[in-house]
Chain A
Amino acid sequence: MSGMRFNTMLFSGLAVLCLTAPAFAQVKVEKSYKRDMGLAWREGRLELSMDFPEAFTQRLRKRLYNGFTSRILIEALLKEQKKKTPVAQAIVQYTILYDIWEEEFNIRHETPEGRRDLQVSSLAELIGTCAKLERLPLQCMVELPPGTKYQLRVRIVVNPLSAELRKKVREYLSNPNGSSHIGSPRSFFGSFSKIFVDEKAFQADAVYTYRSPKKILPAKSGPE
């Protein structure tokens, strides 16, 4: 202290300071569900069955007719209780394209084991095909001892943005409109950005996460 007197009455009536930046709410859905999922051993393979109709929202249903490619990426991880590393996993991608002239959906189903292409003529058929997993084999990375508690997590990503496009997002977001407060000290040290767009919101149209209750893995059956 330099001996200045302490008699100043200084107060800001509003303890609020607005800086030069509007927010921007992206259309982005991120939801989590707890759901019992079918996990069973068949012929020595651990297989997962579930459905997820929630992912086919009205917005997605409308988008599927837009004539552009849509992707649904499904990742399943089986984790041992209290451990972070998955012990088994699987991945599936659906690529969907509506042919506006033929008025039918082309569907590609891809897994690490192969792919198959389908055509369906209605949205109901498409949802019946793509909104479920039927006996999806999980790739086990370790021997799964019986009697241990596991939890299954399935993550469904609708229209993930490719790495290349994500770089472009960064480029466009790094060039926001700039400041209109020219010349004042506060604008010099204020934000240059007029728009705060959450870069992460461009990663995908929607992300759904399903978690199963913790339960004991069913007994292994079938040939090794």
Chain B
Amino acid sequence: MKPINSSKRLAALFCGWMLLPGICWAQDAATVTKDTAGEEPTRVELEDRFKPRYILESIEVRGNRKTHGELILSYVQLKPGESLDEEKVEISRIRLLALGYFRDVRMSLEKGSERGRVKLVVEVDERNTIIIDDLFAGFSETNPFWSGIGVSDINFLGRGLVLSGALVTSEYQQAYRLGAFWPSVFNTNLQAGVEALVSLGEERALANRVRDCDRDQNLEYLRAGGVLSLGMRVDRIHRIKFELHGEHIEDTSKRGNWCATDPHPFAGYLRAGQSTFWSLTFRFERDTRDDFFLATRGMHLVISIELASKIFFGSDYEFSKYMVKYEHSFPAFSNHAFRVSVVGGLIQDVGTPGSPFFSRFFVGDYAFFQMEKDSLPRNLELNFSEVVDYGDLMASVTAEYDIPLWSRGKFFYRGYVYAAANFSYVTKAEFLESDDEEWSGKTKKPVSIDIGMKLDTPIGLFVFSLGYVFDLVF
């Protein structure tokens, strides 16, 4: 061991690391030193021997079995022939890790063809990228049993594409969805996606829910279409997105079986026979949450405007839909978090039906469960409950309290318990002006609560909710 020099007195190099609460010998002096003779402070850089100064000769990717090398290289911010910049190397490592395709990313240097030239080796450990998006299972009075699953590969064919598929089926209804998403088009801020959806659905109104009728009244339909989307990450917290939604819709109901109730349960749900639906949606998002799994600070704002009109490829449905969501997270006692979320929506229809029923607001999409025991969220936009009321006005408020339980587990990486309360209100604007008690029964104003646990695992984020149990008990 040979000492080289003992030189300057370091005042507080360490403050810059932010890991040492309250431990800084010199204020605001992360890079300021005084020499041993007590001269004026001077800015100190790590000397050359502590900064690798090489010319990058080549970059080699190792350990990738699935992910294409070109994709990995596109996230490395250095090119052969450039001087080695250690910070760029570290940023490249972080960007690769943030993709979620790798368990670990290691960077190292190897000797190049001559002194002063090096090869940068990017070594990756790939991880499972196939995840479960959704699991559905349940039974209700109108649908004795239904089940379904959604699966995604977030690194399809190793090219950084997201491919997702989902299906849900019951005796009366089936839906299939297939989508592809390009999260970073040619490594730019642009995002693009395409999704196809086919549904054979049946809105089921049981005979005992319809006045003066002894037969179940069902609205049977076919939906086949898709969504094209193009988005852009404006900066680190803002994002905009456009979606073009098109569908062929067929009302396949046996209307001859319908009781002549007035009004009929499904009046104005769909156009009779075949129809075409087109809409264009603009969405703006602002997201300052500090953590996407368990946010303790920050807000999440989403504003969307959807327009369906004859000018869009001759759509048979004409309406405008406006939605806003605002969520704010606050730090609470210890490392707990408190979150408040407000959602509001309005649909303006042109004619009847202006909007198809599946575009309208359904209370089960916003409430945890209902004290009246008649709703679950729709799965792939199929309604398996016996509530077939949709509204054009919606407001929902949720308050949630989260208590982290652990972090850095091996399979169950992180977990927290939550308790939440929700109030949702879905109605039709025309109901507000009507004194008809029959209509007021269709206005949904549930107060719901939920207690459960959320788990962050390598195969998906799981929510163990007691809401369904409450649904059963109450």
Contact = CB atoms under 8 A, between A and B. Distances in A.
Contact of B141 (A10, A168, A180, A196): A10
Interface string B1-12: 111111111111
B388 interface: no
Nearest to A201: B408
A31 B44 CA distance: 33
A100 interface: yes
A38 B2 CA distance: 27
A57 interface: no
B333 interface: no
Contacts of B5: 116-117
Contacts of B461: 18-23, 191, 196
Contacts of B28: none
Interface string B109-151: 1110001101000000001010111110111110001010010
A202 B94 contact: yes
A18 B132 contact: yes
Interface in B419-461: 440-441, 443, 445, 456-461
Interface stretch (A48-56, A63-71, A212-220): A63-71
Given A68-B52, A165-B91, A185 B362 contact: yes
Given A10-B385, A169-B94, A177 B46 contact: no
Contacts of B197: 183
A211 interface: no
B372 A1 contact: yes
Contact of B23 (A26, A91, A99, A111): A91
Contacts of B150: 18
Contacts of A194: 100, 152, 154, 162, 183
Given A16-B462, A178-B191, A204-B19, A27 B46 contact: no
Given A8-B141, A9-B140, A114 B154 contact: no
A10 B374 contact: yes
A16 B325 contact: no
Given A97-B50, A180-B162, A180-B179, A26 B468 contact: no
Interface stretch (B59-67, B211-219, B283-291, B347-355): B283-291
B52 A69 contact: yes
A203 B64 CA distance: 25
B451 to A, nearest CB: 11
Nearest to A185: B365
B191 A22 contact: no
A116 B183 contact: no
A73 interface: yes
Interface in A18-54: 18-28, 30
Interface in B171-212: 179-181, 183-184, 189, 191, 193, 195, 197
A189 B229 CA distance: 17
B399 interface: no
A53 B76 CA distance: 33
Contacts of B4: 116-119
A177 B162 contact: yes
A20 B152 contact: yes
A106 interface: yes
Contacts of B181: 177-180, 182
A178 to B, nearest CB: 5
Contacts of A178: 162, 181, 183, 191, 193, 231, 239
Contacts of B259: none
B107 A66 contact: yes
Given A6-B373, A10-B385, A25 B413 contact: yes
Q: Interface centre among A63, A125, A157, A197, by most B CB within 10 Å?
A: A197
A128 to B, nearest CB: 9
A61 interface: no
A8 B386 contact: yes
Nearest to B209: A5
Interface stretch (B250-258, B262-270, B312-320, B375-383): B375-383
B407 A198 contact: yes
B293 A184 contact: no
A132 interface: no
A67 B118 contact: yes
Given A12-B468, A15-B469, A183-B243, A160 B180 contact: no
Contacts of A142: none
B82 interface: no
Contact of B233 (A110, A120, A175, A179): A175
A162 B30 CA distance: 11
Contacts of B304: 188
Given A13-B139, A22-B461, A172-B95, A182 B243 contact: yes
A4 B165 CA distance: 37
A32 B239 CA distance: 41
A10 B140 contact: yes
B6 A24 contact: no
B208 to A, nearest CB: 8
Nearest to B442: A2
Nearest to B25: A112
A165 B87 contact: yes
B141 A18 contact: no
Interface in B4-32: 4-14, 16-20, 22-23, 25
Given A110-B13, A160-B17, A196-B293, A15 B466 contact: yes
Given A21-B456, A192-B287, 17 more contacts: A13-B147, A18-B135, A21-B292, A22-B154, A22-B458, A22-B461, A23-B293, A73-B17, A101-B111, A119-B4, A166-B18, A177-B184, A180-B179, A180-B193, A194-B154, A197-B98, A198-B408
Would you list the 5 A-B pairs with minimal beta carbon distance, nearest first?
A67-B109, A195-B100, A66-B108, A177-B183, A22-B131
